[in-house]
Structure 1
């Protein structure tokens, strides 16, 4: 069956868009169940229990992704789901949703930039961002197999299998049609599994395993080029989650017990996702300006105040959690996505929610996310956007300020349910251009030494 899927993908490259859609309608009808964007946060398909054995189990273990037939050319204009994780009252919880497996490893127009940055950071900083302990090697191999199998099934026109050998005995060779790189994963592996993973997916990966002696979960491997803050993986690897989360507000009082219960019960067929956010005025991935230290950016406040208010972004950390069926390791992914405040200005209540949280959120969270550093500078701009929404009739003085019904996504996601999946999600704001690349002006010459 897999061989037929790959053959069909190669043929579809040559077909017109209209005919491709007709073929895919038939393909989906007889092969995979599809889901709409609105359903993704509340729906998950039943799958069988995990089985023991060699190699990644595929159909017998987890929900299969629906093929998304976008071409490398279409990726350059493809927008991912628009996250809006703003809620009020604002408090610290896990805030998890069922994960539609189609969105485990998403594709968007920033893909090439993220892959290029991963390579630069891996070669420059090494174990500060990429590392694996001996007890994590089996999980890294299993994760590599899972990532490869997911990408070639979800994006058949972007990742083409040149050699489809068995994982346990031969390995595979895959060509990345976006980067044009051939990834030879035949056995014995010629590179670390984390390197192959970093050449396929734009997400960061944390690999956690339970130590049966003390019952705690430890970080045993990580490929994390984009932590956003100033910490490195070398400070976290080999430590348990309690130590890693020491600085996280309310971890001990509110999150720890919930996380422990969740990890104990989590099954391979129960992946989840969540998102957190903070504000910055740049789109740098390894260390955002908001978390820079004086020795690297001594004039940080002046730089911040000299930045056009329309350039400020909400950096959303989109995260997923799932368990590997063979090694029993838990995989935590993180993917930073930038949304300018300007592109969200016509979305009901967004400027109001952001300002409310910046000033009235729990003090420990405000400090942890460094909101106090930017809020006074942003406040007049947010006030102008709030007044604009009132002038346009989007909100009134009587409109209750609360989490929006579409949380954690933009309100207009529901409007795209009838559109073809490969077109991506279309922001209706006149301030938004689908072709605009926030990272187009990225200049490595301006990076601080720790970036």
Structure 2
């Protein structure tokens, strides 16, 4: 009010005093607003949190009400007659990429008439060395493993009703006669690993990754039984990047690490993906390739492998991997389904020997080393070239080769 008093101390005409009074009121109000604003700014500056670099947090922590869609029954599926899908994920060239594609939830798990063979091999290996093939960390990882098992309990009987039946407490396998009480796994005293049960229900190996405090995703649970070339015990607890760099994955740091880590953080529960890869194996065991060394050896790899000499033992090995985020735990689940076929069999298919030979010749040196090419290249390429020449002589038209990746 001080400014008003000063304005009215002058001996002036009434109208002039009125004018100055109005002006004074406006000025005082303006000053009050300015003072209040300054005070608010002062308080905000005094109480604000200093800006510091932050780690990107995963969307896993966000709650969601998403429910996995119930799939329709697989058309005419039969454990006797439904053949494995003919994945041939190679091209005439080769580039290192993530190679991901969108996945329909109806196609999440693929089963076929090789289920009995895969199941029996899994059971045998789990009995032999289960302590090395399956593991689940306590806490969040076990919760995620139980969630995965519950997803299977609902999804598998809907997709494969002639193979599975959902029960009040779990799931039955109608082919093997196994009955699994999933609800009993909630007992904290149970020693059964839910990942082992989950892996017995499908032909895939399974892995679960969860984010750590640093924002990286870590391998926290798995049942890896039919991997052929790598062991769960070597990778368990590792972050995503180290899993790949410890296995000398070609060009991982240069081309794959950043987009892969970003994808894991941003992956949505309703957007599953799939990818395929391929290798050549010089022996015939689906579970473990003894050619790279004994499974219990401290040193395994192509450096210790013998040179391949028998084309009949060469196998084409292709993984179909799917990734999805579980809605409750936010964990990311890998399913790893291996397709394992004698090379002499796929070479009978039109265009396959020529395309595979071109793809192998396009491998860069680091890719060739990773895939062990030096141990079998002459044997395999001579065979593929001869088969391709035979197909051309039989009238195969290169211009009519279909392009439907990854089949």
TM-score bracket for the superposition, by shorter chain length: 0.7 to 0.9
Between Structure 1 and Structure 2, whose CA radius of gyration is higher? 2
Q: Which residue of 1 is the match for residue 69 of structure 2?
A: 63
Q: Are 1:175 and 2:175 counterparts? A: no
Matches within 5 A, 1:387-406: 387-396=389-398, 405-406=403-404
Partner of 1:184: 181
CA-CA distance at 1:143 after TM superposition: 0.7
1:408, 1:290 → 2: CA distance? 27
Shift in CA distance, 149/301, structure 1 to aligned 2, threshold 3 Å: same
Give 1:208-247 correspondences, 5 Å limit. Answer: 208-211=209-212, 213-229=213-229, 231-246=230-245, 247=248
Q: Structure 2: which 5+ runs fail to align?
A: 1-60
User: 1:144 Cα shift?
Assistant: 0.7
Distance 1:51 1:151, change over 3 A: farther
1:89 is aligned to 2:93: yes
Task: Tell me: CA distance 1:310–1:392, structure 2 relative to 1, closer, same or farther (3 Å).
Answer: farther
Following superposition, the deviation at residue 70 of structure 1 comes to 5.1
Displacement of 1:290: 4.4
Distance 1:193 1:258, change over 3 A: same
Partner of 2:115: 111
Aligned residue number for residue 379 of structure 2: 377
Contact (CA 8 Å) 1:294, 1:300: kept in 2 or not?
no
**Is the 1:51–1:325 Cα contact (8 Å) retained in structure 2?**
no
TM-score w.r.t. the length of structure 1 is 0.69
Q: 2-side partners of 1:152 and 1:182: how far apart?
A: 13
Q: CA deviation at 1:221?
A: 0.5
- Which ranges of 4 or more aligned residues in structure 1 deviate by more than 6 Å? 294-299
2:406 to 405, 408, 411: 408
Q: Is the 8 A contact 2:71 2:106 kept in 1?
A: yes
Give the TM-score taking structure 2 as reference length: 0.76
Q: CA RMSD in A?
A: 2.7
Of 282-291 and 312-321, more deviation after overlay is shown by: 282-291
CA distance in structure 2 between the aligned counterparts of 1:219 and 1:368, rounded to whole angstroms: 22
344, 347, 354: which is aligned to 1:342? 344
Cα deviations across residues 126-184 of structure 1 (Å, max 9, x unaligned)?
23210011241111111110112111111112111232xxxxxxxx2322011111112
Aligned partners of 1:160 and 1:313: how far apart in 2?
A: 35
Tell whether 2:197 aligns with 1:193.
no
Give the drift of 1:299: 10
Q: 1:314 is matched with which residue: 308, 313, 316?
A: 316
Question: Residues 121-200 of structure 1 correspond to what in structure 2 (within 5 A)?
Answer: 121-134=125-138, 135-163=140-168, 172-187=169-184, 188=186, 191-200=192-201
What 5-or-longer segments of structure 1 have no aligned partner?
A: 1-49, 164-171, 410-451
Change (3 A) 1:393 1:293: same
How many residues are matched? 336
Shift of 1:404: 5.1
